Amino acid sequence: MDTAWLADLQALAETLNFSRAAERRNITQPAFGRRIKSLEEWCGSVLVDRSTHRLQLTTAGELMLEAANDIHRRLERARRDLDQSRASMSTLTFASTHALSFIFFPEWIQNLGAATSTMPIRLLSDNMKECEKMMLEGRAQFLLCHHRVGGRVQLDEREFKYVELATDQLIPVTGKDAGGRALYDLPGSPEAPVPNIAFDDTSGMGRILSASLSGRAGELHLSTVVTSHLAMVLKALAADGKGIAWIPRSLALDEIGPNGRLLVAGANEWAVDVKIVLFRQRARMADIAEKFWDLVHKKFA
């Protein structure tokens, strides 16, 4: 069967007129009529009732039209999927946690030099759980995130690998009182636990903190007052005096110091060292992604 016959049937169903349908399909009326007849012969059924003044499809014709419409929708969807696939082959797609999207990513990309300036880039910013999902579903080629060896990551090392780009720390910060002193201080006490503005379960940094501080639960006395997966939200709430929050030092630098709104809460022993890393799948990717990875790997590995 010629699939063009299905488009002929669709045109005839819309116009209910052989002449106008043939004109829409850019063929002569006799040729159009022969093609509808060929479709009927292929189906083994009469598809068009020609006995009345106004044409109409038979029951078999309605069934065939439904099939034609379904095939058309499927082919259009496949064409769109192929277009998207071609676009993804020529674009670098990054999944990045919110904290690194704001400050680290733009400067890091720029510092990679002219080689990346002509590469089309798409940045998808979300919490760690969603970023991992993007990688597992193949919707992103790279994942930029904070990482600590031994931390819980949903990307199997047999299928994914990473390169370290920079070091960072998760530091506990708090707002200041009118005299410029810290509003809260660690470790707190059982009688007066420190209000904690915490990362929620979807956050990669929340996982890192949970793993790193769990062994010191007896020394640290916290009372969770707010949870969020956004480090920027934690930072703002800490500056407003709502409690202490562990956030990346790279994100806190602009607010720490004499003129800032934040102070480090407690001794440096409560800071957690982390790495900023770039994940990728081990399987070969599109040429543009492999070219980018080679550039990054040579610079940082």
pLDDT in tens, 267-299: 888 999 999 999 999 999 888 899 999 999 999
Q: What is the C-alpha separation between 176 and 178, in angstroms, rounded?
A: 7
pLDDT for the residue numbered 261: 92
Q: Give bridge partners of residue 175 from the DSSP assignment.
A: 262
81-104 confidence digits (pLDDT tens):
666 665 555 789 999 999 899 889
| Residue 87 confidence (pLDDT) | 55
Helix (H, G, I), strand (E, B) or coil at 285: coil
Helix residue ranges per DSSP H, the chain = 4-15, 18-24, 29-43, 59-89, 98-102, 104-111, 128-136, 204-213, 231-239, 249-252, 287-300
Tell me the C-alpha distance between 216 and 286, whole Å.
45
CA 30 – CA 230 distance, rounded (Å): 67
Could you tell me which CATH class the domain 167-275 is placed in? alpha beta
pTM of the model: 0.67
pLDDT on residue 57: 92
Q: Provide the CATH number for the domain formed by 4-86 in this structure.
A: 1.10.10.10
> Where are the domains positioned within the chain?
4-86, 89-166+277-300, 167-275
Return the sign of the alpha-carbon dihedral for residues 266, 269, 272, 275: positive
Percent helix, strand, coil in the chain (nearest 5)?
Answer: 45, 25, 30
- The verdict on whether omega for the bond into residue 187 sits within 30 degrees of 0, i.e. cis, is yes
Alpha carbon distance 291, 295 (integer Å): 6
Please report, for residues 47, 85, 287, the alpha-carbon distance to residue 82 in angstroms, rounded to integers and kept in the order given: 33, 5, 17
**SS3 category, 164:** strand
CATH of domain 89-166+277-300: 3.40.190.10
157 vs 225: CA distance, rounded Å: 35
Q: What is the pLDDT of residue 83?
A: 61
pLDDT in the model for residue 88: 56
Q: What is the mean pLDDT of each run of 10 residues along the chain (301 residues)?
A: 88 92 91 92 92 87 92 83 61 92 90 84 91 92 90 86 94 91 90 92 85 80 90 92 92 85 89 94 90 92 78
Q: Look at residue 175 in the predicted model and tell me its pLDDT.
A: 93
Angstrom distance (rounded) from CA 67 to CA 220: 66
pLDDT at position 259, please?
Answer: 83
pLDDT for 82 equals: 65
DSSP bridge partners of 94: 123, 142
Examine domains 4-86 and 89-166+277-300 and report if their fold is the same: no
pLDDT value of residue 301: 78
Per-residue pLDDT at 1:
76
List the structure tokens of 91. 């674009």
